[in-house]
Amino acid sequence: MGAQVPPSGGGGTARKVIGGLLTVFGVLGMLGGGALAAHAYSNAGQETPNDEYGNVMWRDEPVDDFFPITLGGRGGYNGGLYDPKRAIWNRVGISPETDCDKGLTRYTLKAAKDNGCKAVLRATYVDPTANMVATVAVVVLPEGPESGPREKVYAAYQDHLYDDGVVTPYAVPGTLAAKWKYRNGSALSPVGGENMPYVVAASVGSVDGYIAGDLPGEWSDDSDTDRESWSANADDLVTLFRAHMDRLQRGDTQ
């Protein structure tokens, strides 16, 4: 996918411990998902024609389907998107808060609200090395042409690439993401196609709280490169999640 994943700091024993932790966190995420299902998906179960399903799937899909337990594969388009063996991200928790004000920051929030933001759904993921943490957000906007609300929110993001965090981190108590708050990179992209009134965004940071760009001495000139590498990881996650949204609309998430 082009993104560079930070190297793991542990050996075989550490990987086994991390694997066990992620299994537990997956269960916690599922439990957290129940709250979101009750809060945001109140119309689950209503029947909708296939060509219009994209408009309502944010509230009709079971939360564990909307936010997969794992995401991976090259670009998500070659059949490996949900294969745990190819996972690039493992879900650790789902936010029960869906208010737009809770999920976005500054300029991105203003653009979303100016364009009729209905809800912001968020989930937090950790990479298999347990070094990177990310919160992915799905911004629900009014129905309209691709040149409408989606593109206007995207334009605002482009105008503030370096001075907006985009997605508010969702820290998950009792997990590797318990202290997640420092964003090192972000990305945002509209979901294409008809009946898909969504923008997908992500903020990425370090599990240990490392802040990008804070490089010492002779490496200080590489600060921008450091931030860009984190944003590249955020962009990869957004690409994966957009692929997931496409498959969710088609009913092809197996």
Supply the pLDDT for residue 113.
98
Q: Rounded distance, CA 233 to CA 240, Å? A: 11
Tell me the pLDDT of the chain (254 aa) as tens digits. 443 333 333 444 333 334 444 444 444 444 344 445 444 444 444 555 566 899 999 999 999 999 999 999 765 455 689 988 889 999 999 999 999 999 999 999 999 999 999 999 999 999 999 999 999 999 999 987 767 999 999 999 999 988 888 999 999 999 999 999 998 999 999 999 889 999 999 999 999 988 876 555 555 555 566 678 889 999 999 999 999 999 999 888 87
**Beta-strand pair 70-72/87-94:** antiparallel
Lateral strand order in the sheet of 185-190? 70-72, 87-94, 119-126, 132-140, 198-206, 185-190
**What φ, ψ does residue 196 adopt, rounded to 5°?**
-130, 75
Note the pLDDT of residue 78. Answer: 56
- The predicted pLDDT at position 216 comes to 58
User: Tokens for 25?
Assistant: 């966190």
What's the rounded Cα separation, in Å, for the pair 5 and 21? Answer: 19
Distance CA 54, CA 31 (A): 25
Question: So what's the pLDDT on residue 33?
Answer: 47
- Tell me the whole-structure pTM to 2 decimals: 0.78
